Structure 1
């Protein structure tokens, strides 16, 4: 996959993350779950790159590898042109000041024994930002940015609603003024009425603070709203990458078409006329994925070559990449 621009903030090359699930005597015959298996993409400065797919496809693991919450098995991760995939733990402090994460469960990600002031202030303490009075002002300013009041700083996480807790988590991520944030399904645990508010707030913060997002989600309609470009994952692989508009208007990969056809449309007439793509079978095990194309066991277009050869992610149109033997590269 060729770079189309020099203005790249994050780049992932051939990333793999395997988890050992079973070991034999003396470490022999180890069995691995191939959560992320040879994934490559880039994210431009200031854009939102959406990452979608079924549960278990590896999108959250990809995000955690980029933030270095997980050590990678192989591959390369570049941030501002510097390779960070192999950086040792003691050297990660400065990197983590620039790369932060918003977690899926706003309650589990917050320490229930700490006040909001302590939760948001902890990153400031770790990175030695400001004195006590300056940190207080930073905390109040962050609370205001996420739609909370300074009076909330003395409360504990259990005293807030789910949406408010996620706002606290967002404030904590913003405390050290990062340039890149991994949003790991930040709205999936929230009520539908609150989801749009949080997404709109993330967009406003992006404009005000010049942020770059990796937005991981399974809600395709919301990903379309917030993302500039979208990558579709299936069983540890990226099968399609395109701009948000291009992906929704002209999906190329059979799996992408199936995902998009499952999005509910609040119009009975349109729903009745649309053609829904129903996938048969279940997602294969990441421990023993199918040879060749991993989607072939559920694809009605599967050919002999799909069993024999793994499709590469090729550019089939202007910055539209697809991994499928049905499509030919434009180059």
Structure 2
């Protein structure tokens, strides 16, 4: 054999056909793989979107317990079942109006603003105890349910709720109140701050465990339930929220609330162990109030969200009732 010669290789027909088909087989396998990969990606994206839509839905539709009692059963006070519209007539609200112990003489009314996931009883506070003390101190009391307590409605972070609170304030004025004070809890406190941006009919506020629905507090609360990344979790929840209830969380005026110097006295009450509404926000709000506004801050180092009254009932009542007395002007017949 000559050096560097190549021995011819003979291929039969089957081998030739196989060799020719190798590229097409590879292409089919690649195509199948890409389709499968795309299907997996689409499935994962769908699951992620559905999961965040569910988060937005649960935020908008919290579980609400039914009413357990009423003012007559809870502390023996006469009361009226009432209905009134929100200020912009978007919702019809239900509540109780409790005339003061000396109703003919009282021109002062306290409107309770309950928090997220609660109703007019706010049973974990409980509001009945505070209503009883106000009744004895000769204040009329208005307790009502925000619209989201009704099955057809949803939470809007104070956007619609502020109009509902102002509807309650208007109702109190129509009953003859010359002074109306709002006592808010958690998101109900944040709603009160939003309402005070829109009206001068509130003469003062007590705000316990103030929660304002801004991106930081929303993510702070979601992260306690599941260790989710801020992105894309927060943008996706903001995306789905208006699709569920018709309002965007971007409509919540949280920056305006934080920056406003209110022209009424506000008593901020907050616990430093609050895991739902960071106490630094209450500090910031208080520090932003004018020095001569009469506003106060009671910050407790060892207390948590909305449980301050339960931990310090006597001191709580002394401070809150003292604050209200300081706001009350001498009115005819009192």
Q: State the TM-score, normalizing by the size of structure 1.
A: 0.26
Structure with more relative contact order (C-alpha pairs < 8 Å, separation 6 or more): 1
Which has more radius of gyration? 2
Select the structure that is richer in helix. 2
Select the structure that is richer in strand. 1
